[in-house]
Structure 1
Amino acid sequence: MGFLKKLFQIVSGKKYRNCPNGAAADPAAQRALQAGLINSEQIMAYCDSYATGLSDETLSEGLGSHWGIRSPQEAAETLASLGRHGHRFFYDIVFRIYSDGASGEERQEVLEALIASGRYGSPETVREQIAAQGPSEEKDLVFSALEQALEMLENLRSVFRLLEDKVNGSYLPKDYSGGILAWDLGRLVTVARMSLDCKYIEQAEFDRILSHADKELRSNFSSWPQFAKSYIIGRASWAGQNMTLGGIIGIAEDLMTDERSPWVLSPL
């Protein structure tokens, strides 16, 4: 089912699907699940339970096509990356460089920041590999990351100070400087739920992920509208301005205002 058809069903009233077998009882788990609400509404999953309520076909297509997850190992690697780095790793680099102003050397500045991060190996080793002739794993990894970061930089440039929603109004520079943790948390929770449904992860690991998400949520956000801003900026920086972004902003606006919304019923 395409995104627009799902969005039409949401707008038509099929919102906030409750699990017929009951909601998650633990308050911390419920908060963590609500961090994934924009995602779960987008894919029409249950909003209140560990189980998504999605068909096996939808789960397999979603994890396989969109995330490259077809095994427990791939699920573990993706979830670990979302938890530790996510897209915020790139965003923090490109936002700093964008904020410093155009210098004409953005590509080199981003490359140096990626190397200095240590994520792709010892900075000294990576610099040596880049300077050397011939391919290497370190070189491939860092240049692949460079292209992702530069794409995010262009997306950020295209949406900076242009984003808004009906609750928060126009987003200010301080909103962009707040980062995109919500974008990564929302996806972490959703991928974990789908992976649990597919039996790619055990319940204990799922519980650990929800606990981590709840801790990050409570430590970094004081309201769901604040969370929504971070999520929307993350989505826009990842893929720029398009029709899908408008639909996601609409979902977030409903979550912030609809009297039946779990965000409205359980504010942070």
Structure 2
Amino acid sequence: MGFLKKLFQIVSGKKYRNCPDGAAVDPVAQRALQAGLINSEQIMAYCDSYTTGLSHSTLAEGLGSHWDISSPQEAAETLESLGRYGHRFFYDIVFRVHSDGASEGRQEVLEALIVSGRYGAPETVRKQITAQEPCEEKSLVFSALEQAMEMLGNLRSVFRLVEDKVNGSYLPKDYSAGILAWDLGRLVTVARMSLDCKYIELDEFSRILAHVDKEVRSNFSSWPQFAKSYIIGRASWAGQNMMLSGITGIAEDLMTDDKSPWVLSPL
């Protein structure tokens, strides 16, 4: 499908598709599903149910091409990574480097990755990355460094430029609040798609929804606040482009439309 046609479908497709077999009734599940609304509206999934309502071929293509998921093991690994780290792991690092005013930032980002402990004991990692011989840990750190540097460039390009019609221009304090919403929204969608593909069981899906609900209630006081965190995450991941405008438009509708689940069920 051509890019412009896909963008048109995202922006003008039917809003808030309800599952004909009935909506989720548990309040925990409802809030978690609403945390995934920007993403579910983007892919035109049902807004109110465990199932996405998408065809198996669409699900397989989406999980495979965007998430490298084609098996239960890969689904479990991706969902674990999203829940534990997500893009916020890199964002928190690069936002600190950006705030400190580092001119290039590469060495500062590398040091932050090392001391994070994610890739092993810091002293061991330092020895591995300075050694001549290759190793898996060294490869992981430098791959992470490239991802983080790309995000740093994106953050610098969008800092203080992102806005929406409800929240207005985003302030430095909005950027410093982080991008948890971006990770939570994607976690819900990937979990729903994985459940539809039978890559995860219902018990695991319910556990993920409970985790998302807890994080939403602990960190956000309104859906507009959640939207800011999500949009900053999207902007930092891919910078300014046409798709960011489409995502922002979806969020604006969710914050203002009388039929929106966010408007009907505020936090």
TM-score, scaled to structure 2 = 0.98
Distance 1:3 1:47 in 2: 24
Q: Displacement, 1:107?
A: 0.6
Asked if structure 2 preserves the Cα contact closer than 8 Å seen for 1:36 and 1:190, the reply is yes
Counterpart in the other structure of 1:241? 240
Counterpart in the other structure of 1:149? 148
CA deviation profile, 1:120-160 (whole Å, cap 9, x unmatched): 11111111111111101110000000000000000000000
Distance 1:53 1:103 in 2: 47
Counterpart in the other structure of 1:210? 209
Distance 1:92 1:266 in 2: 30
Residues 202/14 of structure 1: CA separation in 2 closer, same or farther (3 Å cut): same
Counterpart in the other structure of 1:28? 28
State the AA in 2 paired with 1:175: D
Counterpart in the other structure of 1:37? 37
Distance 1:206 1:50 in 2: 9
Counterpart in the other structure of 1:176? 175
Counterpart in the other structure of 1:89? 89
State the AA in 1 paired with 2:81: S
Counterpart in the other structure of 2:54? 54
Counterpart in the other structure of 2:227? 228
CA deviation profile, 1:93-127 (whole Å, cap 9, x unmatched): 000010011344x1111000000001011111111
Distance 1:257 1:200 in 2: 35
Asked if structure 1 preserves the Cα contact closer than 8 Å seen for 2:10 and 2:246, the reply is no
Distance 2:9 2:233 in 1: 25
Residues 156-171 of structure 1: matches in 2 within 5 Å?
A: 156-171=155-170
Q: Secondary structure at the match of 1:46?
A: coil
State the AA in 1 paired with 2:263: V
CA deviation profile, 1:44-83 (whole Å, cap 9, x unmatched): 0000000000000100000000000000000000000000
Distance 1:170 1:34 in 2: 24
1:114 aligns with 2:113: yes
Counterpart in the other structure of 1:79? 79
Residues 2/25 of structure 1: CA separation in 2 closer, same or farther (3 Å cut): farther
> Which runs of at least 4 in structure 1 moved beyond 2 Å after TM superposition?
1-13
CA deviation profile, 1:6-65 (whole Å, cap 9, x unmatched): 553454461000000000010110000000000000000000000000000100000000
State the AA in 1 paired with 2:57: E
Distance 2:251 2:83 in 1: 22
Residues 238/77 of structure 1: CA separation in 2 closer, same or farther (3 Å cut): same
Unaligned runs of 5+ in 2: none
Percent identity over paired residues: 86
